[in-house]
Structure formats: structure tokens, C-alpha cells
Structure 1
Amino acid sequence: MTKSTGGVDEVWKDFHEAVNMTASQIDKWLDTEESRSVGQKSSDGAESVGHHSGRKIVTILGKKKADLSHGDLEWMRKVVGYVKRHGAQRPDGDIEHSNWRYSLMNWGHDPLKE
């Protein structure tokens, strides 16, 4: 038996609190060099995990709660966890042009919008 990971309503609420960018904002961001410059990559030239996540988030944002798949819900939980963990590691100083902010934005969260 696995631990409870929250029902659909809870995951939906947590996801929409963590993701504070719109699908169009994320889509536009993912086209930037800054977006592609950050994150873990499996090899040179590969897409980063966060950039891939951003594309998945755009797809999920286009769905109704009733249309979410099990995989969507799992990804939504992953996004919430990432935003919480990475968000807690805020660096000192100006974050506007920081890799930390860029990484969070790949996951649909712009810390400057808080």
C-alpha cells in the first residue's frame, strides 16, 4: 500500500497554486534561450527535464479536471513537489535574471509574480 497522495480535487488545487503562469506565458517562455539554458540534461543538446515539464504543463493546463489521466495527476504532483523544493532554495540578491528563477519558470512558476 502506498501513502495517500491526495485526491483529484486536492492535486488540482495544489497544482494551480504552484503553477502561476498561464499556458501561453509558459509556451512563450519555453521559446526563449534563457529557458533552454537551464536544467538537467541527459546529454549535450538534449532537452532539460524542466523544459520537458513545461511542455507537459501547457498540455495539462488545457484540460478539464474530469479529463485528467492518471499520468497527468502524477505529473501534477511532481510539479507541486518541485516548485515547493526549488522555491525554498531562493538565492540571496536579485533573482530576476537568475538560473533559479528560470528553472522555476520552466516548471510554470514565476517567483516574481508572488
Structure 2
Amino acid sequence: MADIDTLELDALWAEFHRVVNMTSQELSAWLTEYDADKSAQPLPEHAGSPTGLHVLDILHKRRADLTNDDISVMYEVVDAVGDQRDDDLRDGDPSLRHRLMSIGHDPLKPPA
């Protein structure tokens, strides 16, 4: 279990799962598709950025199995989605959507 207060972990877990609005299957498919544009296509289990792959790993975990590295990535993703989504999405920048999707957030997906 990670070194974090239970209440703080509960809040982070809820916020992470709110901003990561893509399923693990959607994220995995996106990471593979997004990497396919590069000259040498990686193996499907290695497609995507390290952060995107870590998000995918977190989506498969139970809260009790989180590590300190997982917690750091969860904070990073929550902050990145909050910062970028508010400031830049109004411009309709497709590269921003792609960056957000690479960490599990599709800004065009309606809220659940």
C-alpha cells in the first residue's frame, strides 16, 4: 500500500477515475493506434508513452495495490487534465486532444 492518508487516497482515486474517462480497452487501443504513426511500430504491449502505459496499469489495479509511483502518476494525470483542458480546449486543438487521450482522457467524450 502506498504512503498516503486513506482520505486523501479516496479523494485521489475518485478524481483520477473521473478525469480518466477512457476504459482500459479504449486507452490500450488508442496508445497502439497513436504509436502506429511512428516509423517503427512497437509491440502492442509497449505502445504509448510511459505515462499512458502507467495509467493503463493503474486502471487494472485495486486501490489497495497502488504503489507510491502509481500515486505520483495519478496526481500528474489529474493535474495535467485540469490544466490543459481548461486553458486550451476551447481552441479545438486536435494535438491537445491526442495528448490528453494518451493519458486516458477524451475531452470529447460526454460525462458519465
TM-score by length of 1: 0.74
| 1:1-114 correspondence to structure 2 within 5 Å | 7-33=8-34, 51-88=49-86, 89-93=88-92, 98-114=94-110
Q: Distance in 2 between matches of 1:23 and 1:31?
A: 12
Q: Distance in 2 between matches of 1:35 and 1:81?
A: 27
What one-letter code is carried by the residue in structure 2 that aligns with 1:108?
G
Deviations 1:56-76 (A, max 9, x none): 000000000011111111110
The runs of 4+ residues in structure 1 deviating greater than 2 Å are: 33-37
Larger helix proportion of the pair: 2
Percent identical across equivalent pairs?
35
1:10 CA displacement: 0.7
1:52 CA displacement: 1.8
Q: Distance in 2 between matches of 1:21 and 1:68?
A: 19
1:15 CA displacement: 0.2
Q: Partner of 2:43 in structure 1? A: none
The root-mean-square deviation of aligned C-alpha atoms, in Å, is: 2.4
What one-letter code is carried by the residue in structure 1 that aligns with 2:59?
L
TM-score by length of 2: 0.75
